[in-house]
Amino acid sequence: MRDYASITKHIRHPDAGDLVLGIEAVEAPHEPNQRLTIYTVEPDSPTARVLPILSSWTLNTVDNA
């Protein structure tokens, strides 16, 4: 891998539908086995609107455990 990579990932979620995520990956210059990966979404996109809903499903599951 280069020091930096940027891609778009498309995921089909069974309940939320199509999600589009930007992925940025950066390798540490002196630590090639370490990589920082950041997932982003476009503001006001369908993905940005549905992520809080998906997150709330997980929070409810954890709270009820």
Instruction: Give 1-50 pLDDT, tens digit per residue.
Output: 467 789 999 999 998 999 999 999 998 888 878 889 999 999 999 999 99
What's the pTM?
Answer: 0.68
Closest of 52, 57, 53, 46 to residue 11, by C-alpha: 46
Reading the block at residue 10, the tokens are 């498309």
Beta bridge partners of 40: 22
Cα 40 to chain center, whole Å? 6
| 62 against 11, higher pLDDT | 11
Closest of 17, 6, 5 to residue 46, by C-alpha: 17
Specify the pLDDT at position 1.
47
Specify the pLDDT at position 57.
80
58 pLDDT above the threshold of 60: yes
Q: Domain extents for the chain?
A: 4-63
Q: What is the per-residue burial (b if ≥16 Cβ within 10 Å, else e) of 34-58?
A: eeeeeeebeeeeebeebbeeeeeee
